[in-house]
Structure 1
C-alpha cells in the first residue's frame, strides 16, 4: 500500500509543471535568501501548503530537510518525492548530499513533538529553520459545533503550534539561534464569509499573537518567530471542496481584490524570506499573502 502510494505521488510530483523547475541557468539573487547549508523542518508537510514550503526550501538550496506529518508512510513518501526532486533540480549539491527524511508526529501531543525533534537532532545535529504548518479547518455554526471537534482543532492548531515552536527554540538557543515560522491565516485578522468557522478563526488569531509573544521572549536569544498568513489558496483539498460548491469559489474570488484565489506556490517567496537570513532583523511580524482580502 505504502509503495503504491509513494509511486503514485512520485509520478505526480515529477510530471506536474513547477515555476521552480527550469533548464536555464538559475538567476542570480541575494545570497541571504539561500537555504543552502540550513537544516529545515516543516510540520504538516506530506501534502498541501506544507509540502509546497518544502519544495520552496529545496529549490532555494536546502538539502537537509525533515518532512513531519501524522502518518509515517505519508511523510516517508513525501520525503522520497522531494529527494528525487532535489537531486534533479539542485545543481549546486551532489546527489549524495541530499538528506531528506520523513518523521511521524502528532503535533497535538507534546511527547510526540519532542520525539520528532529528537529524531531530527539525531539525524542532523542541529536545526535552523522550522515551519509549523500542521492545521485543520472545519465549518460548523457556533451552536452546532461539537465540543470534541473544537478541542481537536485547538489541540492541533494552537497547542501543536506552541509545542512545535517551544521545542524548536530549545534546540536553537544552544546553537546560537534560528528561525521559526508559524502558519496562521488571514482569518487571524478578518471573519470569513459565508462559511461559519469561529473556532478556526480564533485559533489562527491565537497563533498570530503567540508568535508575537514568543518573539519577545526569545529575541535576545537569537530565535526569531514570525507569521505567514495565507488567504484562499487552491490546494488539492480546497479544489475538492469547491468542486461541489462552485458558487462558494465565485464568492471568495469576488471578495478578494485581485479577483482570484492564490496558488500554493504563491507562498514560496514569503516562506523562504521568513526562514532565511534575508529576514534576519525581523521578528514578531506577519506577512499576509491574501490577494488583498484583508485591506477592504
Structure 2
C-alpha cells in the first residue's frame, strides 16, 4: 500500500509518526486511565461508603419522585388495587367489562366509559355493578362518551379525578374490528378504524395522563393491542385492524418514553384469539375457523376474556413497578412458532 502513495506523502508520514511518538506517548503513559468500574461509580462521593451512598441516593428528591414499592411489601399486597381509581374504556361489555370485573375483585374503584347508551338494560353490566357494591365494597360507574370526542373525554376524566382527588390507572380497551380485503377498503372505513383504535386510545391515555401530571402522581396505563399488531393473521383479512394494533404497541412505547419522568408507566397487552360474541358470529360464517384458529397456537385452544384479568391487575399494580414500554403478548404461543 505504501507503494501506492505519492512520493511526497511517503516521505512525510514517517516524520509525523515519529513526532507523535516523541510528544504524545510519554504523556499518555504518565496518565492512569480509569477502569470501567471506576467510570460507573463517578457519581459516588469520594468519602462515602456503599451504605452511605445508597442512603443519600434514596433520600434525593429526584429518586423520591419515582419511589418504588417498599421491598418488604408482602407479595399479595403488591397485587392489590384497593383504593385505586381506574378508568376502563370500552367497559360496557365484552373484554372491557371482564377486565373491569377483575379490577373490582382486586379492590379498585372502576369507571367504565363507552359510546353505547347507558347500559341499564345490559344484564351483565348491571350484575357486575351490583356485585361491586354489595359484595366487593367498591363501585363500578358508567359514563357514556365516544373516545374520539377529545373535549368530552377530557371533561369526563377530569370529573372522575376531581371526584376522588386522584386517578391511578387506565385500561384502554375500546376498539372496533372489520374484516375486509385491502382492495375493497374505503377511505371512510379505514379512517373510522384508525380513529377509534389508534386516535381514540391515544386521546384516552392523554386525558388520564394529563390528570396524573397535574396532580403530580404516579400511575399505570394499559393499552389493549393484539397479537395481530405483531403478525399478519393467516386467513383473517383485516389490514386496517392489524395496522391499528401495531400502532397501539408503538404508541405505548412512545408514551412510556415521554411520561416515565413523571412516574407514569405505559404498557400493552396483546391477546390472541378470544371467544366472544363477535367471534361466535364469525364461526357461523366461517366454520373452518373453529379448528384452524386453535391449531395455530401451541395450546390448541382459544382463549377467554377472563384469562386476561390477571395480566391487567399485574400491570396496574405495584407488582410491575419497574415495567414500562413493554408488550405483554398472551397468545397461547401463536407467534412463537
Normalising by structure 1, what TM-score? 0.84
For residues 198 and 236 of structure 1, the distance between their equivalents in structure 2, rounded to whole angstroms, comes to: 22
For residues 79 and 262 of structure 1, the distance between their equivalents in structure 2, rounded to whole angstroms, comes to: 21
1:53 equivalent in alignment to 2:99: yes
Q: CA deviation at 1:75?
A: 7.7
Give the structure 1 partner of residue 301 of structure 2.
260
Q: CA deviation at 1:87?
A: 3.6
Is the CA contact 1:80–1:100 (under 8 Å) kept in the aligned structure 2?
no
Give the structure 1 partner of residue 47 of structure 2.
none
Give the structure 1 partner of residue 280 of structure 2.
239
Deviations 1:12-67 (A, max 9, x none): xxxxxxxxxxxxxxxx96211011110011000111110110010011112x2101
Normalising by structure 2, what TM-score? 0.74
Q: CA deviation at 1:109?
A: 1.9
Is the CA contact 2:88–2:112 (under 8 Å) kept in the aligned structure 1?
yes
Among 163, 169, 172, the residue aligned to 1:123? 163
1:74 equivalent in alignment to 2:111: no
Give the structure 2 partner of residue 12 of structure 1.
none
Q: State the secondary structure of the residue aligned to 1:176.
A: coil
Q: CA deviation at 1:167?
A: 1.1
For residues 83 and 216 of structure 2, the distance between their equivalents in structure 1, rounded to whole angstroms, comes to: 15
Deviations 1:129-157 (A, max 9, x none): 10110001111111001111110000000
1:185 equivalent in alignment to 2:226: yes
RMSD of aligned alpha carbons: 1.7
1:30 equivalent in alignment to 2:70: no
Return closer, same or farther for 1:236/1:68 CA change in 2, 3 Å cut-off: same
Is the CA contact 1:67–1:75 (under 8 Å) kept in the aligned structure 2?
no
Give the structure 1 partner of residue 28 of structure 2.
none
1:251 equivalent in alignment to 2:301: no
After the TM superposition, list the runs of 4 or more consecutive aligned residues in structure 1 that deviate by more than 3 angstroms: 75-80
For residues 295 and 176 of structure 1, the distance between their equivalents in structure 2, rounded to whole angstroms, comes to: 37
Q: State the secondary structure of the residue aligned to 1:117.
A: helix
Return closer, same or farther for 1:75/1:194 CA change in 2, 3 Å cut-off: farther
Q: Which runs of 5+ in 1 are unaligned?
A: 1-27
Q: Which runs of 5+ in 2 are unaligned?
A: 1-73
Is the CA contact 1:69–1:75 (under 8 Å) kept in the aligned structure 2?
no
Is the CA contact 2:225–2:245 (under 8 Å) kept in the aligned structure 1?
yes
1:40 equivalent in alignment to 2:81: no
Is the CA contact 1:257–1:293 (under 8 Å) kept in the aligned structure 2?
yes
Is the CA contact 1:68–1:75 (under 8 Å) kept in the aligned structure 2?
no
Is the CA contact 2:132–2:140 (under 8 Å) kept in the aligned structure 1?
no
